[in-house]
Chain A
């Protein structure tokens, strides 16, 4: 199996390549089918990995040497273990479902070929990111998916704000990327390797606390930016400008989880620094609460889901932070299923209401779209973590419960539990407003099989995938944690009365939230809903403040440099004193150019004189 690993990212990349070279000779429909085939083939290979090595995967393939100079070596090499196997299963299979869904959804759009090119490239990049056996190759995947996110957010580029949103996403995440790059430099300078395996061995043998702390913080900044965690989350709500399928794939199921994946992957580094994990947990718990509180006041269907994604990713970070990375990964899997489902469902809702995103102008859709309603409801159940019959109950509530029992976790538990109430509120508020209540007719829309199959599969998963790991003290299968234990260890688990208390608390939080949501939807229809709370509606005004401060300062500064130094300083440095001595040019030229040349020349000479003086000073 080892030597076939390259096929997993290889197929989607091949699809992108074929598309870019031969695409113009085929119809958009043919391109779409070809593009969808590629992640399907990847899925088959991943399935083969499951069949042959699923129990305890430990596969490795070295493809070629990427950069090798001096003592620095970076390979194009792939590695598959438990964590990676989960990630590539999501990326390839959910990726395939979204490709399938896109066939009808994007039909007749402009730029279908471009869309499928970037979608294929994205899946390839995501697979490289998760399969890389070293940090540099991870970084390649990391940047590739960032590029695809940029291009796909800006897919409907004719609207300036879409192009703007794409650029915002890219630049904000690039701040994190740069931090990650610096972390890579530090780790290499300290340990002379970027390969995970040897790196962790070196870290264990010789933990350099200072280097690890700085590297850990930088990695965390990278992860926070990529996974849209507070305060670098500001790009994600605007990224909803892209097609809903893109939101489903990139901004829900895969790319935004890369930050969580990175933290799980580099867990040994975080664990080596005291207090570091708690910071991750706090960041996650706070973001979970913050974004959920923003979610309850949104009226744009996709922005509700965007804040929801930020919040849910917070829970995953919390899972990592409390020493339960395997639960974080569990929730990552569950979230990928239900959030992809919800985004695709929202895409259909938006089509039905002729591109209107405002949930206050929707309602009663359950009659017209029964299939959509039931699948969407399954996703809502999972999002709100309805007890027993939704997957999140087994993943998210487990994280919250575990937070309670770890040292320093009480505060995190409070934040997370409060977040869970808000989560149930926005989830069901969304559902009630769109599918229940008085019917507001949209355009009739017939979903084909290509749409129903993905929604159906994901709906089943949203309900049932949690049954892989029942809570402690319950009868039922407990497969997930033991399977991951060789790699991630067993997380602490509550027991006895505390266990019962925690499970009840989690369930009650959800039920309270649903009850509030029912009223909230009614208020909203009456025009006095949560959306009128400006503080929450504007996400605590954070984005606005950010945009008011940083870009204007940035541009003003750049303008000042340009005007004063580039155009002014270099010309005004000398007022023509040297002009005559230099005997430059003809009168005609002087007249034509306003004597600028001589001033430039003088300026240059002055610059050189200054440099010479600096050097002279050094000599004496």
Chain B
């Protein structure tokens, strides 16, 4: 069982998704229940990854290696370490919540909808555990297809526009990555093994070109300024569940790519171009937060907030400090919970009012007190209040950064003020105040299903905030290993 745990994690949701598809849209109830069962099962098989994980080694665990296309030396090679483990669990965990949260608000093509999410889950987990370049690339590209469909079919009014924009950006980025991987293939003596690449000596010019190719692919995904403009549109048009997966998991792919590919494969180029990455991260933290303040669309506001929060993640990577990198990973996890919750909260409002315009709300707390209380918690997480997960990650990143360069840390710390400013601005206008619009007066508070979903996320937000030790323990050894790895030059003497 243990030997093929990762395969189960990938293929159970994909096969289950196909089954759900076979059930058909006519039998919506059956499709929903089946999707829930599959997602629970998929979550269940990822749990042994945590319980059986050895925190003392940075080596890949639960490895699987089978020849796939022998003529090209391509392997079906999987494995996890401390860096990827949490993202697999996050993916399988959030998919369960996504299925539950879409229980009632998706009424068209239910089976297809659920199937798209399950198949996407499998592919995303595939990205997080693929150790073969081609396998990685296949999962990387394939996971986009369900997301296109989710936005394009179940999206809002301007969904086609958003889909095309999303596609253009992410696809263009990925192509360059493929070129880089092919270069590495020839350079490393015909190997597609990502672990082999980590030990392949590379000259500076080659490193920088590869870094840029990777950078384009990952920066678009994260997204980093200035290639971020697809994200607000995609979020605005995506259905709630799509936004949740997009913000909570897909954005992490880019960051994961930096950790798994860029940093260990081209460490010298990473060092050389770190200034650029730090500059872009700081722009994301400062500039994007400012832009967030003036958004009138709730989803856009949270989308910009996501970009700003991911700025902390990339900042943490490129100061090459273990505290900062661990902080970045915690920040990614935390953002997985909090951004998911924020988008779910907006979804709760959207389901009832069918508008995302902040001005259409006001005084929601009067009629939805439980909702308001929970959203307050997530808003505080977004602000980075100590005791919530948002604090631990940002604090560690800024602390690690400070030890490397105080000025970066000071600039990043302004994000704490702007973050408070736009989040509370949203909260004040939407949730507080008297009821101005009669539609708001008719709102109903959370039902049990919504409470279950938001309550679970709230629990994790607090748990990670006050007791991050179990999360950090997993990450620690692998990050130490990574930091040691990138400190060594790979330029052939």
Contacts and interface: CB of A to CB of B under 8 A. Distances in A.
Interface of A: 20, 64-70, 72, 76, 111, 114, 117, 136, 139-140, 142-144, 147, 150-151, 154, 157-160, 162-164, 166-167, 170-171, 174-175, 177-178, 181-182, 185-186, 188-189, 554-555, 557-559, 561-562, 565-566, 570, 584-585, 589, 592-593, 596-597, 600-601, 603-605, 607-608, 611-612, 614-615, 618-619
B396 interface: yes
A140 B428 contact: no
A103 B65 CA distance: 67
Given A69-B472, A114-B369, A167 B416 contact: no
Interface centre among A65, A114, A596, A611 (most CB of B within 10 A): A611
Contact of B323 (A72, A114, A150): A72
A175 B417 contact: yes
Interface in B410-445: 410, 413-414, 416-417, 420-421, 424-425, 428, 431-435
Given A66-B466, A589-B160, A167 B276 contact: no
B471 to A, nearest CB: 10
Interface stretch (B133-141, B162-170, B192-200, B250-258): B162-170
Contact of A171 (B158, B395, B409, B417): B417
B455 to A, nearest CB: 10
B467 interface: yes
27 contacts: A68-B469, A72-B323, A136-B395, A143-B385, A144-B385, A147-B385, A157-B365, A157-B431, A158-B434, A166-B432, A171-B420, A178-B413, A185-B409, A186-B402, A558-B291, A558-B294, A561-B287, A561-B291, A562-B291, A596-B161, A597-B161, A600-B165, A604-B169, A608-B227, A612-B212, A615-B208, A619-B204
A606 to B, nearest CB: 9
A225 to B, nearest CB: 11
Contacts of B450: none
Nearest to A612: B212
B156 interface: no
A169 to B, nearest CB: 10
Interface in B450-475: 466-469, 472
B189 to A, nearest CB: 25
A132 to B, nearest CB: 11
Contacts of B99: none
6 residue pairs, one from A and one from B, having the closest CB atoms: A163-B432, A140-B386, A157-B432, A185-B402, A158-B434, A558-B290
Contact of B373 (A114, A177, A589): A114
Contact of B403 (A65, A177, A189, A597): A189
B326 interface: yes
Contacts of A185: 398-399, 402, 406, 409
B346 interface: no
Contact of A604 (B172, B373, B380, B392): B172
A177 B276 CA distance: 29
Contacts of A597: 161, 164-165, 168
A164 B428 CA distance: 7
Contacts of B417: 171, 174-175, 178
Given A170-B424, A604-B172, A67 B468 contact: yes
Interface residues of B, number: 72
Nearest to B403: A189
B472 A68 contact: yes
A538 to B, nearest CB: 25
Given A72-B396, A111-B369, A163-B428, 16 more contacts: A66-B466, A72-B323, A147-B380, A170-B424, A174-B420, A178-B414, A181-B413, A182-B409, A186-B402, A189-B403, A600-B229, A601-B165, A604-B229, A608-B172, A611-B276, A618-B272
B402 A189 contact: yes
Contacts of A177: 416
B467 A150 contact: no
A566 B272 contact: no
A592 B396 CA distance: 46
Given A143-B385, A157-B433, A619-B205, A170 B420 contact: yes
B413 A557 contact: no
Contact of A608 (B216, B323, B425, B435): B216
Nearest to A176: B417
A188 B366 CA distance: 44
B83 to A, nearest CB: 14
Contacts of B402: 182, 185-186, 188-189
B402 to A, nearest CB: 4
Contact of A143 (B387, B398, B406): B387
Interface centre among B215, B273, B398, B432 (most CB of A within 10 A): B432
B59 interface: no
A586 to B, nearest CB: 10
Contacts of A64: 467
A373 B410 CA distance: 51
Interface string B307-350: 00000000000000011001100000000000000000000000
Contacts of B421: 171
A150 B27 CA distance: 49
